[in-house]
Structure formats: C-alpha cells, structure tokens
Amino acid sequence: MISIGLPGRIIPGIVADRWTGPVNLLIVVIFTTAVVIFLWFALVSQAGLYVFSALYGLSGGGIQSLYPAMLSALSPDPETRGTRMGIGFLITSLAVLSSPPIAGVLITEGHGNFMYAQLWAGISMLIGCVLLLCARIVKTGLVLKVKM
C-alpha cells in the first residue's frame, strides 16, 4: 500500500503546482476517492480487491499530500496561515479519532458486513467534497478557470 501511495502523494503536488492549484485538484481527488469507495461494493474477487487497494492508495495519498497546501491556499493572510492550518488539522484529528470506532459499530450492526461502513466512508467523502467546493466558491466565486 505504501508503494502505490507514494506516487499518489507526489504526482498530485506536481500537477497542483503547475496547472490546477491545490484546492481545485483536491476537489477532484476527493470526489475520485468517494467513487472508488462506492466501487468497493462491487468487489467479488481477490483481484478486484487488489485493484481497489491500488486505486484507493493513489487517491488517498493525494488527499494526504494536498490537504496542507489546500489549507494554505484558502488562507489569504500569511500571518494567519499557521493558526488556520492548526485549526484545520484539529478538526481532521477529531474525524480521524472518531471514524474507526464508528466504523466498528457499523460493521457490528451489519453482522460483519462492511456495507454500512462503506456507505459511511463514501458519504463522508462526498460531504467533504461538497464543503470544499463551497469553500472554493466563497473564495473565488463561480469562476471556473482560477488556479487555486
């Protein structure tokens, strides 16, 4: 998983720097990750699990590497970037700490079936994508060709 996640961490940063900006690319990466999570439902073989793991590793790595850059891009004042990044990581830490127990309860409620946890993960990703899209619209308006 680490070997496939490495290009997923490096390549999005290069693309964001040269062409799209971290916010725009992160919106696409989060949406792609949500689609990959929903495709998890269709797995019926071990080969499918390998493909899912590779795709999720690539997209998940992109989220991890673009998140700090996105926080910085959304903060207009360089003096407040550190504070805003700290708050962003605090909010993220709450999600990271609470999601595994929530997933465990959902798997238990599903009697060992991962369907509820998969739905939780996919819907959470979509909500995050919509919230980031809203933040981008607040920052730039409805202009599409803005490198942000």
Q: What does the pLDDT look like over 8-32, one tens digit per residue? A: 999 999 999 999 999 999 999 999 9
**Angle ∠(119,121,127) on CA atoms, nearest 5:** 95
Mean pLDDT of the chain: 94
Whether the pLDDT of residue 135 is over 80: the answer is: yes
pLDDT band for position 127 (cuts 50, 70, 90): very high
Region 74-102: mean pLDDT is 93
Largest CA distance in the chain: 51
Which residues, in sequence order, are CB contacts of 60 under 8 Å at separation 6+? 5, 8, 33
Could you tell me the pTM of the whole model? 0.93
Rounded Cα–Cα distance for residues 73 and 23 (Å): 7
Q: Where are the domains of the chain?
A: 2-76+84-140
